Structure formats: structure tokens, C-alpha cells
Copies of this chain bind each other. A is one copy, B any other.
Amino acid sequence: MLGEMLENVRKSCPLIHNITNYVTVNDCANILLACGASPIMADDVDEAEEISTLCAGTNINIGTLNQRTIPAMLKAGKQAAALGHPVVLDPVGAGASRLRTATAFRLLEEVDFSVIRGNVSEIKTLANGQGTTKGVDADVADKVTEENLPEAVAFVKAFARRTGAVIAMSGAIDIVADGERAYCIYNGHPMMGSITGTGCQLSALTAAYVAANPAHRLEAAAAAVCAMGVCGEIAHGRLSPMDGNASYRNYIIDAIYHLDGETLERRARYKIL
């Protein structure tokens, strides 16, 4: 099933509209090309809707949000969702500033996202709301371990139910869930944290996978998360003693370029809860 998700990206070559940060945008474009999709970046409010209209999916990443691009994010997201095109939100740094948190909430209110992908801290910020007393949601630990996995899964499913989106929460164990089922994913390598933008790249990849598999949002998002993790492992196996995070970055994108459905099926390590 996960392999099929990947193969459908290579077959349909979806064009993905990215309003994303300028730190990791080049890697996002190259990973989209590596997986068989095509990127377009357009963040002016005057063309955001048009570009989302002609694309198969839209990826909104608030990593370097600003007053000029926030209106474009809202317009692109609303237009894509109105057309039934999948929209992914990457709430980079939600919780780190009022602007980021408020913008993420505004996007959640106004745009019907297909997938929300972030780290534990970002997802917790969005799930727990502004100014709400800390309820059960707040009890999820910052680090997902085998011990607290059931609670973390319940937390992610609850947020998925509330938003109607698939939630992809990245961590030591990645959790990708809709309201009913959760993929708990064990792929990846800790050294991925020493590269800027593996999360941003994963969000772009997720947009491509979901755009190519609109009837299977959960499986498509899980496949993207597994693909990134598997490629983090493949790329790590390729490191020579002098290679560091810069070469590792290239090798991960290279691995996505070569990844096929059969390898993804074989190397994906997950359980469904």
C-alpha cells in the first residue's frame, strides 16, 4: 500500500505550489523533483490563488512568514481547499512567537487543511490552543517513547478529529493519524536533526504524496513519512568518515530520487494503533 502511494507520485507528476520559507526552499524544490513531482514557488498575494488553482496540491510553511506572505498563504490555502486540492500546513516555530502562533491559528480557522505536519512542540501548541487551560491534550510528553506512545496516539487522533486533517507529528517515533487510525513510524536517523529543513522537505513531500493519492490521505502521508525516514537511513549508510551534515543533506535527496515502491514497502517500519 505505501509503495503504491509512492508509485502514484511518479505516475501523476503532481505540480505542487509551495509558499515556504527561504531557508530550505531549494531543498524542498529538489526533493519534490526527486520524488517525481514538480515544484512551483509563488508567494505574492496577486498570484497565489491562480497558482494554487493550476497545481494539484499546496504546501504552506510559516518558517519565514511575514506581513507580505501571510495574506498569500490564506488566499492560496482557501482556494486550493475550495477546489478540493490537498493543502498541507507546516507550522514552523508555532509557539516561538505570537506572530507564528497567531498565524498558524488563523490558517487553521480559515483553511481546510488535508495534513498538518510538525514536530511535537508545534503540534502541541496548535492542539492546546491559545489561552486554554491545559486539558488532557497537554499531557502529551515532548518526546514520544514506547512508554507514552498510547497517550501520544490518543492526543494526535483527538487533534485529527477536531481539525478534520491528517496529523503528522515528527519525533523519535513519528505518529501519522486521522481520527481513527495511527501509523507509528520507526524509520529515520537521529543525524537528520543536524540538517536544516528535513521537516520542511517532508512537508513538501507529503503534499506531493497526498496530491497523487487524494482518496488515501492517511496512507499517503504515512508513506511520505516512511520514505523520508527510509532515505535518512539509506543516506546515513552512505556517509564516509569525512562526510557531515552538508553531504548528508544531499544524500537524502539523492535517496528519494532513487527510492521505489518495493524498497519503501520492504524498509518501512511501523505499526498501526
Contacts and interface: CB of A to CB of B under 8 A. Distances in A.
Chain A's interface size range is 35 or more
A251 B39 CA distance: 22
Given A21-B41, A99-B47, A196-B39, A255 B244 contact: yes
A250 interface: yes
Contacts of A93: 40, 42
Interface string A246-273: 1101111111111000000000000000
A43 B66 contact: yes
13 contacts: A24-B29, A26-B26, A30-B195, A30-B246, A30-B249, A33-B194, A40-B96, A43-B66, A47-B98, A51-B96, A244-B254, A246-B251, A246-B254
Interface of A: 21-27, 29-30, 33-34, 39-47, 50-51, 54, 63-68, 93, 96-100, 194-197, 234, 238, 242-247, 249-258
